[in-house]
Structure 1
Amino acid sequence: MSSVWDTIVIGGGQAGLASGYHLQQKGLRFLILEANDQALGSWPQYYDSLKLFSPARFSSLPSMKIPGEPDRYPLRDEVIRYLQDYIKQYKLPVITNQRVESVEKSGELFTIRTLSGDCYQSRTVINATGSFHNPFMPTIPGQEDFKGNILHSSDYRNSDRFLNQRVVVVGRGNSAVQIAVELAEVSETSLAVLRPVQLVKQRVWGQDLHFWIKLIGFDTFPFWRFGKKAPSSGSVVDLDGYKERLAAGKPDQKQMFTSFDTDGVVWHDGTKEQVDTVIFATGYRPNLGYLRNINALDAEGKPVQQAGISTSVPGLYYVGLEGQRSFASATLRGVSPDAKYVVRKLLRYLKK
């Protein structure tokens, strides 16, 4: 623990790598601590067929484009290869197998301890971990008596194990629809929703939807300046003919069930149906317990911050939070501008 770094970045996924690029450009001394044995974030844990909802031309990290046709929608494994190449291209100082256990602050210095027993000191910290490892599943009456399978979308890989099953996918977002459409090819699948899925066209006037979002500035509109969190779009991009598939009932949509029973679910109208598997595509929650001792979190465990700058702990920053500065902040296409903004603020802090 002889070195005091300018910055320690916690998390080596897309947010951490984008932060590393901008720190490197400013000539700062930093390390990126990655919990796993590869700095790929959560991408290896996503389902096999995951496809980006924005085209390659809008989905790259700073200064290095995703290779290939810019208007295609890259698959999970393409993104993994891209992230691997990105680390090599910029020789980012990533240390793997460094899961952070605690962050402490004494005076102007942070001390970061990892489960492997290592310890680091720095003048600033950027938390860039995301929340994939803390999936959210609502508690539904009767859930403990259900004899079928219950899993979160974070545990879904492919449709192989669900052949000829009766499956219910809970949710109406992009992942819920993509998983349900895939499952509907091999099983009887329904989307359980509070409101019908809202689809938006993939292409408008010959351009991908994200072209227009970027053009009008909605992608980076500073909602935070008005004391508001950037809204979720609440819509699903109509990739791969989702509109036609939903209209054909593959999958169908049903009002969210009210409870489980032993063999299945009880639908909103009181009808009971036998179900083999329920998959909750219900998102994630912050997983930042190691920051609690420095009063960085509110009562719900969420970071106390504005636009990625901690408002309770000087020198602490965030990249990759949902709605941090725009509705794209937690995505591959959104982390770069947020990282650039945060590093600029961090540099001013270091020069004080």
Structure 2
Amino acid sequence: MTQSVSVVVIGGGQAGLAAGYHLRRLGIEFVILDAQAAPGGAWQHAWDSLHLFSPATFSSLPGRPMPHQSGEVYPDAQHVVGYLTDYEKRYELPVIRPVQVHSVHPAVAGLRVETDTGTWHAQAVISATGTWWRPFLPAVPGRDVFRGRQLHTVDYRSPQDFSGQRVIVVGGGNSGAQIAADLAEHADLTWATARPPRYLADDIDGRALFDAATARRRALETGGADTGGVAGLGDIVAVPPVRAARDAGLLQAMPMFTRLTEAGPIWPDGSRTPAAAIIWATGFRPTLAHLAPLRLRDRDGRVPTVGTRAIDEPRLHLLGYGDWTGPASATLIGVGRPARDAARDLSALLRSKDC
């Protein structure tokens, strides 16, 4: 089956929905192809205790404020799933699911999108597949010989799964800190980080992070000094569970181990720690394999962009992968502006004679 449309949006999570909102407002014909069987994007696969860094007021997509969650200052993942589900229905966004996008190819008059349900011919494409589906595992010596259980952030669900076990959590970012805090009173926890944990001030939340990222973008655009953005503030937002575990002395980070054996890690001083499980909270990489036929990626695995537009393929926009596709664009509050800019750029492209 072959179908044609002005714009194909790949991914039905928060970035794809924000793009759809702005495309709809501009009167552009589009579809959203989502690999998931249900609405909610990656949020529906998060661990049980995950909460946002910001109150609902500062965690909204364009046009529709997120409602407050009863009894919670920082909404949990299931509340976000409900919000995204409602958002999709409220704006009648044309999401087709489940559809696996295999590849995007150049075509005579646009781009060809190959999926498991057929082919789409589009004048332009917005890729909004995020990073959750491509977890990163560091090349630690001995990782393949460790006999215990190994999980990434994407696999972790509940501390009850590790009750009474010796668990190593690896990673000094938000996920590592939150999972370590989650496990602290249930497991024999060791938290390993590449450098000492850097906590942001306790009164900083996701809105402040968005403001910091925006200020950095403005400074760079106007030739000012690089403020460092979010990275200049720290690595870990002290959400209430992390703050409580930290203040109780339960989050004592160890320097990263040098290698793994069958039984567990060996530390820089030569000591060993037998472990039942290792949880790698070591981040993600952008999910871009579907764009391989376009041959746009650089040595870092990214597609060079101006804003969200691919430099070498103006019919392609990338949305929601991080600061390189818009300040804080991987967050709910941050994705709205780059989504608006991408939609406006595509509107101008579709009106031009070159498309």
- Whether TM-score is above 0.5 comes out as yes
Q: CA deviation at 1:298?
A: 2.2
Q: Name 1:61's counterpart in structure 2.
A: 61
Q: Name 2:108's counterpart in structure 1.
A: 107
Q: CA deviation at 1:349?
A: 1.2
CA shift in 2, pair 1:211/1:292, >3 Å:
closer
The CA distance in 2 between the partners of 1:24 and 1:230, in whole Å, is 35
1:221 lines up with 2:217 in the alignment: yes
Q: Name 2:165's counterpart in structure 1.
A: 165
Q: CA deviation at 1:210?
A: 4.5
Q: Name 1:126's counterpart in structure 2.
A: 126
Q: Name 1:176's counterpart in structure 2.
A: 176
The CA distance in 2 between the partners of 1:283 and 1:213, in whole Å, is 18
SS of aligned partner of 1:31: strand
Q: Name 1:52's counterpart in structure 2.
A: 52
Structure 2's unaligned 5+ residue stretches are none
Percent identity of equivalent pairs:
36
Q: Name 1:294's counterpart in structure 2.
A: 294
The CA distance in 2 between the partners of 1:283 and 1:263, in whole Å, is 24
Q: Name 1:98's counterpart in structure 2.
A: 99
Aligned residues: CA RMSD? 2.4
Alignment deviations for residues 119-175 of structure 1 (CA, whole Å, 9 cap, x no partner): 111101000010111100012112222111111111001111100111111111111
Q: CA deviation at 1:3?
A: 4.9
Q: Name 2:89's counterpart in structure 1.
A: 88
Q: 1:1-352, aligned counterparts within 5 Å? A: 3-68=3-68, 72-116=73-117, 118-203=118-203, 209-212=205-208, 218=214, 221-222=217-218, 225=221, 232-233=230-231, 234-240=234-240, 242-243=242-243, 245-352=245-352
SS of aligned partner of 1:72: coil
Please tell me whether the aligned partners of residues 167 and 187 of structure 1 are also in contact (alpha carbons under 8 angstroms).
yes
Q: CA deviation at 1:10?
A: 0.3
Structure 1's unaligned 5+ residue stretches are none
Alignment deviations for residues 291-349 of structure 1 (CA, whole Å, 9 cap, x no partner): 11122222443222221100011210011011135541111111111101111111111
CA shift in 2, pair 1:214/1:285, >3 Å:
closer
SS of aligned partner of 2:324: coil
Please tell me whether the aligned partners of residues 180 and 189 of structure 1 are also in contact (alpha carbons under 8 angstroms).
yes
Given residue 217 of structure 2, which amino acid in structure 1 is its aligned partner?
F
Number of residue pairs aligned between Structure 1 and Structure 2: 347
Q: Which moved more, 1:225-234 or 1:168-177?
A: 225-234
Please tell me whether the aligned partners of residues 192 and 253 of structure 2 are also in contact (alpha carbons under 8 angstroms).
yes
TM-score, normalised relative to structure 2: 0.91
CA shift in 2, pair 1:241/1:40, >3 Å:
closer
Q: CA deviation at 1:193?
A: 0.8
Q: CA deviation at 1:222?
A: 3.9
Q: CA deviation at 1:188?
A: 1.3
The CA distance in 2 between the partners of 1:24 and 1:220, in whole Å, is 30
The CA distance in 2 between the partners of 1:150 and 1:235, in whole Å, is 24
Q: CA deviation at 1:230?
A: 7.5
SS of aligned partner of 1:23: helix
Please tell me whether the aligned partners of residues 295 and 313 of structure 1 are also in contact (alpha carbons under 8 angstroms).
no
CA shift in 2, pair 1:224/1:309, >3 Å:
farther
